[in-house]
Every structure is written in C-alpha cells, then in structure tokens.
C-alpha cells in the first residue's frame, strides 16, 4: 500500500485543509522501463496554488480526486529499467505520495551529497536556484554594478537571487520580507538592506531609517534607485519597484504570490505608465524554459557552497500527512528558505 495526497475540492480564495485528502492505494507492479521509488523529501511551491484552479495555464491543473504532484527526491526500491538499481537516489516529479511508480525516462539519477541532505536537490541545487540564477542573469540581464531589489527575499528563490546578485558584483541588494526575524536573516546573508513590509515601523538596514509604505521603505533603502527588480510578490511591491527603477531598469517577473488567493483583480500596479518614459523592461519567465542552464548553475552554486560564499536554509515539515499544512504555511509566509516535507 502507498499513501497519496489528493485534491478533494477546488479552493475559492485561500485554500484550507478541507481541499486535501490523504488516501491509501495499492502500489502497482512496475512495467518494463519503470521504477518504484520511495520518496524521501517532496517540495511545496507557490505555483501549485494556481494548479488548484481549473483554468488553463502553463501547466495543467490538478484533477479532483487525483494525487497532486511536484518535485520529489527518493530512493529506488525496485527497478525494471536499465541503468537503475535499488538504492539509487533519483529526482522526479511525483511528489505528494510516499511511493511513486514511474517511467525511468522521467527521473534523473543524482549522487548522494557529502554533508547535505538529499532535499538540497529540491532547493539550492535544483529548480529553486535555477529560477534565481536564470531569472537574475538571463531574464533581468543583471550587470555588475546594478542595484537590485528582491521581494519575498527570505523565501527559497529570493534568498538565492539576492546572494547571487552580491556574488556577481551588485552595487546594492535590498530585500523585503514579512517579519523582523526574516529581515535579520537577510542581513546575515549579506543583503545591504532589508525591510519588513508588514511592519510600518520595522525597517532595518545597516543605516537606521524610518519607513511607511512599501514604496517609501524601498525609496529609503535605495535612495539612488534600483536597476533590477526580481519580483516574487507582485501587487504593491511591483508598484513600488516601478517607481524606484532607474531608466532602462529591468524586471524579472517570477511570481505574484500577493494575488494568488485573491478573488478580485489586484489594485496594483497603478503606475505602469512610468515604464514608458523610463524605458523599462518587464519580462515574465518560466524556469522550465531555462533548463539548459542547469549544469552551469549547479557548478557555480556548488563552488560557492564549498567556499562558504553562499548559504541556504530549509524549513522542514515532517510527515506526508502534514504536507497540506506545509503548503498552507508556505502561502502564509511561514517558511525561511526552501519549504520541504520529509516523508
């Protein structure tokens, strides 16, 4: 028997535990070319909220009564595919279950990591860092000397994007986060300034400042403006960034988590017309379009990790039955760094 989390109902606004169900199913015998994988860790990610809606998007929606899916890393327990054997560590896309049966062509064999949990393949050495790497360097066309603002900067992607910017020669890196503890974490990571967008009196940086709105906090943190905005939030953060961007500024539109659970259209940004006179570039992207960058990213990130120049944090929730709570906590911003479930 295997356990799976299925989509019990489609949420309206914020998801609840009632939208999920934990079910037991028989594990089918693997066919020729297939593997049976015992999942060790699975990922929960903001994009999964959009897949809970029955709307056309860049990935198909989750189906009612069917298991959800997403990134997972696990151990092969049975193989009917050449090149794989019991004990092999593999990365694949059938998370939200403790046992996966899938074609070997849909998995990637990975090596055990000295001193690191296999969950690193879901974050700092996986799609998380590829999103930050490609979004900053390719989509936003970062150049040494740029001033960079990252929203949702204490999350999995944002924390890596800010560190890459510093390592690549940014003149200044600013991050927004949702608590004083996360602000302190960003400063420990080497951000030049960070502010708590939930606390009108809570900005902290290396220079004391007074703050009000997100736009005012950003202006205080970047008095000379910004050249690049890595957007994980949308809404008032995007509006603030548009106001602060210098001429020919670039925006990598990675996510808009501020609006994922809204039932009405977002009010911001209301200043999009500024993009005309400033000659701004606002460019959306999907990480799968940048898969060719993975080897280069892994090599560079691995070197920075070895040299102690880049650090990462995980928020680990134990137990498949707690995966829905981990996902809901992610949407509420309860994670620092990558949120994973240890199955």
Domain boundaries, the chain: 2-122+313-342, 127-289
| DSSP secondary structure of 44-70 | --THHHHHTSSS--SSPPPPBTSB--B
Pick the CATH number of 2-122+313-342 from 3.90.180.10, 3.30.60.50, 3.40.190.10, 3.40.50.880: 3.90.180.10
**Is this structure's pTM higher than 0.85?**
yes
Cβ distance 136 to 228 under 8 Å?
Answer: yes
What is the per-residue pLDDT for 193? 98
Count Cβ atoms below 10 Å from residue 215 Cβ, excluding itself: 18
Decide if 2-122+313-342 and 127-289 have a common fold: no
State the pLDDT at residue 212.
66
Q: What does the alpha-carbon distance between residue 258 and residue 237 come to, in Å, rounded to a whole number?
A: 9
**Per-residue DSSP letters for 256-316?**
-GGGTT-SS-------TTHHHHTT-EEEE--GGGGGGGHHHHHHHHHHHHHTTS----EEE
The whole-angstrom distance between residue 145's C-alpha and the CA centroid of its chain comes to 25
Exposed, middle or buried by CB within 10 Å (0-12, 13-18, 19+), for 303?
exposed
CATH of 127-289 among 3.40.50.720, 1.10.10.60, 3.30.565.10, 1.10.260.40 = 3.40.50.720
d(CA 221, CA 226): 10
Query: Is the separation of the CB atoms in 313 and 185 below 8 Å?
Result: yes
Residue for token digits 């992207």?
A: 285
Q: pLDDT tens per residue, the chain (343 residues)?
A: 999 999 999 999 999 999 999 999 999 999 999 999 999 999 999 999 999 999 988 889 999 999 999 999 999 999 999 999 999 999 999 999 999 999 999 999 999 999 899 999 999 999 999 999 999 999 999 999 999 999 999 999 999 999 999 999 999 999 999 999 999 999 999 999 999 998 754 444 444 444 469 999 999 999 999 999 999 999 999 999 999 999 999 999 999 998 888 878 877 799 999 999 999 999 999 999 999 999 999 999 999 999 999 999 999 999 999 999 999 999 999 999 999 999 9
């Amino acid at each position: 028997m295997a356990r799976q989390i299925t989509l019990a109902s489609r949420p309206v606004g914020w998801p609840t535990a009632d939208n999920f169900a934990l079910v037991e199913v028989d594990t089918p015998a693997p066919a020729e070319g297939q593997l049976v994988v015992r999942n060790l860790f699975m990922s929960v990610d903001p994009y999964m909220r959009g897949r809970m809606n029955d709307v056309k998007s860049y990935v198909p929606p989750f189906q009612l009564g069917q298991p959800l899916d997403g990134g997972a890393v696990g151990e092969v327990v049975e193989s009917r595919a050449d090149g794989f054997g019991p004990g092999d560590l593999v990365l694949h896309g059938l998370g939200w279950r403790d046992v996966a049966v899938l074609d070997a062509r849909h998995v990637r064999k990975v090596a055990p990591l000295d001193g690191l949990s296999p969950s690193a393949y879901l974050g700092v050495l996986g799609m998380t860092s590829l999103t930050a790497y490609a979004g900053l360097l390719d989509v936003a066309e970062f150049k040494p000397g740029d001033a960079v603002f990252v929203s949702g900067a204490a999350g999995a992607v944002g924390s890596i994007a800010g560190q890459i910017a510093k390592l690549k020669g940014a003149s200044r890196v600013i991050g927004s986060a949702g608590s004083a503890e996360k602000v302190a974490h960003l400063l420990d990571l080497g951000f030049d300034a960070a502010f708590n967008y939930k606390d009108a009196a809570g900005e902290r940086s290396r220079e004391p400042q007074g703050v009000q709105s997100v736009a005012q906090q950003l202006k205080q943190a970047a008095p000379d403006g910004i050249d690049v905005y890595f957007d994980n939030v949308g809404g008032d953060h995007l509006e603030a960034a548009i106001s602060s961007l210098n001429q020919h500024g670039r925006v990598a539109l990675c996510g808009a988590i501020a609006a994922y659970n809204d039932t009405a259209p977002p009010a911001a940004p209301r200043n999009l017309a500024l993009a005309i006179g400033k000659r701004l570039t606002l460019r959306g992207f999907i990480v799968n379009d940048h898969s060719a960058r993975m080897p280069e990213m892994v090599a560079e990130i691995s070197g920075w990790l070895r040299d102690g120049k880049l650090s990462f944090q995980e928020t680990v929730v134990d137990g498949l039955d707690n995966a829905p709570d981990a996902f809901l906590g992610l949407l509420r911003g309860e994670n620092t760094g990558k949120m994973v479930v240890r199955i």
